[in-house]
Copies of this chain bind each other. A is one copy, B any other.
Amino acid sequence: MSLLTVGTVAFDSIETPFGKADRVVGGACTYISIAASYFTKDINLVSVVGDDFPEAELKYMKKRGINLEGLDVKKGEKSFFWAGKYHDNMNQRDTLATELNVLADFNPKLPESYKNSKYLMLGNLTPEVQLKVIKQMKKRPKLIVLDTMNFWMDIAMPALKKVIKHVDVITINDEEARQLSGEYSLVKAAKVIQKMGPKYLVIKKGEHGALLFSGEKMFYAPALPLAEVFDPTGAGDTFAGGFIGYIAKTGNISFENMKRAVIYGSAMASFCVEEFSIGRLKKLNARTINARVKKFSSLVNFNMKNK
């Protein structure tokens, strides 16, 4: 069923202990849409780029069933650019450059055909812009998922809290859950955040997996321990894309199905980190994805009966 994805489509320059990638394709909405495209073909993308963004990459996205009618290509302008360098442990990174370019005055206007999308995935972006998208929908989507980060908590907490009121699921990392709630315990943080609006909370813990909370219910998805994490950029967005893609595919927003969506999201993220940019994501198929999901199953599966 139709999925509206909103966020950045951009360039990244990345340095990890394993190598360098210069001005490769990045952006939350890129990762989200490509990951989701392995589950559903009815994806409506909203974003903005300059005319420096490679035509071949846009063609690739279209080929994957991503509708680019809502992609604003600004003539004579440059795409959003981020440069970062990861520390040896890959858990920390320094931002070396952020050039907003076309993002500076991004004011999304949804094409008419987008306004009835059944699922809405708001990638990491200014909370004001996220809210503007929600307000343009003709019908309240069946599920609205919002991803955000500490940056917006630091500089735009009131606006963030305003948009959070309107969403069903929020995905953030553990430090962000603590910052947003003011509670150190994630169990307590989950309660506080659910009171802000979202019925569901996904806490992404990187190499330590992900937690799904709703009311008194709790689900823990592991991360797949990997021999090599080549580049973590986009892993959280890819998780979100796999998560909402699986939900859009199945049309089921029960807690039980969200557990499966968290596992699919984790599986997609585990691919993302294996190469720079969307390199690994481009080479997947249903068979490789299902094989990866099976690894998650066997990783946590135990039978309490001693046979």
Contact = CB atoms under 8 A, between A and B. Distances in A.
A185 B227 contact: yes
B218 A252 contact: no
Interface residues of A, number: 38
Contact of A302 (B185, B186, B260): B260
A304 interface: yes
A306 B226 contact: no
Contacts of A205: 208
Contacts of A188: 227
A304 B218 CA distance: 17
Nearest to A203: B225
Contacts of A228: 185
Nearest to A250: B306
A303 interface: yes
Nearest to A297: B304
B229 A225 contact: no
A125 to B, nearest CB: 29
Residue of A209, A221, A222, A252 ringed by the most chain B CB atoms within 10 A: A222
Contact of A303 (B252, B256, B293): B256
Nearest to A191: B227
B263 A187 contact: no
Nearest to A229: B185
A78 to B, nearest CB: 36
A225 B187 contact: yes
A185 to B, nearest CB: 5
A187 to B, nearest CB: 4
A222 B222 CA distance: 8
B299 A304 contact: no
A211 B184 contact: no
A259 interface: yes
Nearest to A206: B208
A228 B187 CA distance: 9
Contacts of A187: 225-227
A300 interface: yes
A220 B297 CA distance: 10
Nearest to A306: B250
A275 to B, nearest CB: 16
Interface string A208-222: 110100000011111
Interface in A210-248: 211, 218-222, 225-229
Interface of A: 88-90, 184-188, 205, 208-209, 211, 218-222, 225-229, 250, 252, 256-257, 259-260, 263, 293, 297, 299-300, 302-304, 306-307
13 contacts: A186-B225, A187-B226, A219-B302, A220-B300, A221-B300, A222-B222, A222-B300, A260-B302, A260-B304, A260-B306, A263-B302, A263-B304, A297-B302
